[in-house]
Amino acid sequence: MSVPTVVHHNKLSEIYDKATVQVPRYEALLKKFEERYGTKKPDLLIRSPGRVNVIGEHIDYCFFSVLPMAVEADIIMAIQLTDEPVIEVANTNPDFPATKFDLPKDGSPVDIDATKSDWVNYFRCGLVVGQDYLKKNNYPCTKGIKVLIDGNVPTGSGLSSSAAFVVCSTLCTLLANGYTDVSKKLLTQLSTVCEQHVGVNSGGMDQSASIWGLKDHALFVSFLPDLNVVEFGFPETNPKLEFVIANSLVVSNKQETGPVNYNLRVVEVTLGALLMAKKLNLTIKPDGNLQAGTFRGVVDAYFANDKTPYGQDIEDSRKKLDKMIELVDELITQKDGYTTEQIASELEMSVDELKTKFMTKYPVRYEVLKLYRRAYHVFTEAKRVLDFLSLLQNPPADSQKLIADLGNLMNQSQDSQRDYFNNSLPQLDEICSIARENGAAGARITGAGFGGSTVLLTPANKSQQVIDALKKDYYKKHYPKITDEELADALLVSKPGSGTTIIDNLSLE
Ligand code: ATP
Ligand code: GLA
Ligand code: MG
């Protein structure tokens, strides 16, 4: 079987749905590139998109499958290579000031101060993982890089500008140093660990969606036994299915809020998995973001003697998840949460050991650890993803029913995030209610939540009504001074776009 490698294109029309809108953007980027680096012709030009997740939230780092798609908005990097071991990083957006730094002479990795919120760290982490891989594979990695970056994925908005960014910075490092035949899988594996270097202990969904994205297709991404991405189109329905993205405009910076939001959830799901394993007397693989075990590990160990492994058959996997949901209820007895002392005692370790193992590299703050709620969300959400996929694969003949069923799953996902994973906000709930009242079949947070965007599944004949209602009842109410341009960026019908691209000999067509 051939190994899929990162796609090359030279025409913008091969990459974007509305290429004409992109032409002035690329022209402006190249003009600024010339002003800064003295030539209009970059040695390398690459782009990688943001993503919207249709369903399957906060389960990628528990190693359950998710269903995202790439969006058209992306990060572009125009790159000049030099033999001087210096990295120069600049941005077309003046909010992100330029920096220059030396590559360490002894070949050691560049420093990243993860305690600082610095946009250039998102470039440095691509350098670190790229160089590490190159060194292990005997590639020299001494090339100097001068890069100019242009991004239009809104930041901190749930559309994963960070993944688009680190996929580009990792790819840039590999290509710059002569590693040209980059497989999509390698790029996914390398870029997935990038954000861990900037203090965000995230999973692999966003990078997978950004790299493997395909026009008009969503992706079913599985992480075990190995990364596997299956592309699929949506069934023909009447009316057509559309996805509207509505940004709450509440910015959630994952790195800054990690100790109480994202990184804390990673600790909670890890401890939840260990608690279940302990009570079931199971040995689970010490993998996952904290290298200690995952809920998926509990499933695999619990059904180790079953003839059908989890993930092989949808129907069977759903049954396995039902069993897990029962076990969560039975085994995680303290429904309101565990104090540090309580969970340490359950896991038969000292508080010091618990803190050192799970809370030192990524510090967290909490009163109690809500293991039951997190576990309940993860297993029910993993099941909703399979239910969603199964509906797409075997759609009911009646389009209305299909749309309603898909929408219900998205609504249940939102309720579970609000009530069990606690990553919603009143603003996100409000957008979902307005959308549903005005014809959306389903409405939910997309991405990490705690702010950011929602994804709304709408029959095409209702999209405008949903958009108009949100303009009036959400945006104009909360942001009375919002401009038409800001509104157009915040609220749009989104089509699945293409994934990471290397642009050779750019032709502005
Ligand atoms: P989410 O992770 O919720 O989907 P997100 O990825 O947009 O949303 P973060 O993970 O917080 O949000 O990452 C945002 C950070 O990524 C920014 O604060 C900035 O450091 C970096 N970043 C993203 N896009 C750009 C860009 N165009 N230029 C410079 N830095 C960027
Ligand atoms: C962020 C992370 C992903 C995933 C989502 C929540 O986008 O980067 O890995 O965990 O949150 O589903
Ligand atoms: Mg992000």
HEC letters along 8-56: EEEEHHHHCCCHHHHHHHHHHHHHHHHHHHCCCCCCEEEEEEEEEEEEC
DSSP state of 57: -
Residues 53, 131, single domain; the answer is yes
Residues 115, 67, single domain; the answer is yes
Q: How many domains does the chain have?
A: 2
Nearest CA to ligand 2 atom 8: 202
Residues 191, 153, single domain; the answer is yes
Which residues carry out catalysis? 206
Q: Residue 403 CA to chain centroid, in angstroms?
A: 25
What's the CA-to-centroid distance between 59 and ligand 2, angstroms? 8
The answer to whether position 183 is within a domain reads yes
The answer to whether position 162 is within a domain reads yes
The answer to whether position 389 is within a domain reads yes
Q: Is 14 exposed, middle or buried (0-12, 13-18, 19+ CB in 10 A)?
A: middle
Is 0.75 topped by the overall pTM? yes
Residues 45, 165, single domain; the answer is yes
CA distance 386 to 395: 13
Nearest 5°: CA angle at 275, between 270 and 278?
125
Q: Is 1 exposed, middle or buried (0-12, 13-18, 19+ CB in 10 A)?
A: exposed
Atom of ligand 1 nearest to the CA of 451: 3
Ligand 2 in contact with 60 (CB < 6 A)?
A: yes
Tell which residue, 330, 211, 214, 337, has the closest CA to residue 279.
330
The answer to whether position 432 is within a domain reads no
The answer to whether position 249 is within a domain reads no
- Amino acid 199: pLDDT: 87
Atom of ligand 2 nearest to the CA of 204: 9
Structural contact between residues 243 and 54, judged by C-beta atoms closer than 8 angstroms: yes
Kindly list the protein residues whose Cβ atom lies closer than 6 A to any atom of ligand 1. Answer: 75, 91, 93, 96, 119, 122, 149, 151, 153, 155-162, 165, 253-255, 447-448, 452
The answer to whether position 502 is within a domain reads yes
- Amino acid 450: pLDDT: 97
Structural contact between residues 166 and 191, judged by C-beta atoms closer than 8 angstroms: yes
Residues 39, 169, single domain; the answer is yes
How many Å from the N-terminal Cα to the C-terminal Cα in the chain?
A: 33
Max distance between CA atoms of the chain, in angstroms, equals 67
CATH at residue 308: 1.20.1440.340
CA distance 140 to 352: 42
Q: Which residue has the tokens 């509990």?
A: 298
Q: Residue 426 CA to chain centroid, in angstroms?
A: 22
The answer to whether position 470 is within a domain reads no
Structural contact between residues 501 and 7, judged by C-beta atoms closer than 8 angstroms: yes
- pLDDT tens string, the chain, 509 residues long: the values are 678 999 999 999 999 998 999 999 999 999 999 999 999 999 999 999 999 999 999 999 999 999 999 999 999 999 999 999 999 999 999 999 999 999 988 888 899 988 888 999 999 999 999 999 999 999 988 899 999 999 999 998 899 999 999 999 999 999 999 999 999 999 999 999 999 999 888 999 999 999 999 999 999 999 999 999 999 999 999 999 999 999 999 998 888 899 999 999 999 999 999 999 999 999 999 999 999 999 999 999 999 999 999 999 999 999 999 999 999 999 999 999 999 999 999 999 999 999 999 999 999 999 999 999 999 999 999 999 999 999 999 999 999 999 999 999 999 999 999 999 999 999 999 999 999 999 999 999 999 999 999 999 999 999 999 999 999 999 999 999 999 999 999 999 999 999 999 999 998 76
Write out pLDDT tens, residues 62-100: 999 999 999 999 999 999 999 999 999 999 999 999 999
What tokens does 133 get?
């891989």
Residues 297, 205, single domain; the answer is no
What's the CA-to-centroid distance between 255 and ligand 1, angstroms? 10
CATH at residue 201: 3.30.230.10
Residues 195, 275, single domain; the answer is no
Residues 207, 280, single domain; the answer is no
The answer to whether position 282 is within a domain reads yes
Counting ligands in written order, the one closest to the CA of 74 is 1
What's the CA-to-centroid distance between 53 and ligand 2, angstroms? 9
Counting ligands in written order, the one closest to the CA of 448 is 2
- Amino acid 1: pLDDT: 62
Residues 92, 228, single domain; the answer is yes
Residues 221, 324, single domain; the answer is no
Q: Which of 398, 422, 446 is the last residue of a domain?
A: 422
CA distance 70 to 164: 10
Ligand 2 in contact with 48 (CB < 6 A)?
A: no
Residues 305, 382, single domain; the answer is yes
CA distance 188 to 39: 31
Write out pLDDT tens, residues 487-508: 999 999 999 999 999 999 998 7
Counting ligands in written order, the one closest to the CA of 258 is 1
- Amino acid 97: pLDDT: 98
Q: Which of 400, 422, 444 is the last residue of a domain?
A: 422
C-alpha distance from residue 47 to each of 17, 385, 441, 498 (Å): 15, 29, 33, 10
Residues 153, 282, single domain; the answer is no
C-alpha distance from residue 246 to each of 215, 243, 442, 468, 497 (Å): 21, 10, 13, 12, 17
Q: Omega of the bond prior to 396 within 30 degrees of 0, cis?
A: no
* Identity at 497, one-letter amino acid code: G
- Amino acid 376: pLDDT: 98
Range of the domain at 221: 7-233+496-507
Pocket probe mutation, ligand 1, options 89, 162, 425, max atoms within 8 Å of Cβ = 162
What's the CA-to-centroid distance between 166 and ligand 1, angstroms? 9
Three-state DSSP state, 170: helix
Ligand 2 in contact with 203 (CB < 6 A)?
A: yes
What's the CA-to-centroid distance between 242 and ligand 3, angstroms? 24
CA distance 439 to 87: 50
What's the CA-to-centroid distance between 363 and ligand 2, angstroms? 18
Ligand 2 in contact with 61 (CB < 6 A)?
A: yes
Atom of ligand 1 nearest to the CA of 448: 3
What residues contact residue 441 under an 8 Å CB cut-off, 6+ apart?
A: 403, 404, 406, 407, 408, 410, 457, 458, 459
Q: Which of 373, 403, 422 is the last residue of a domain?
A: 422
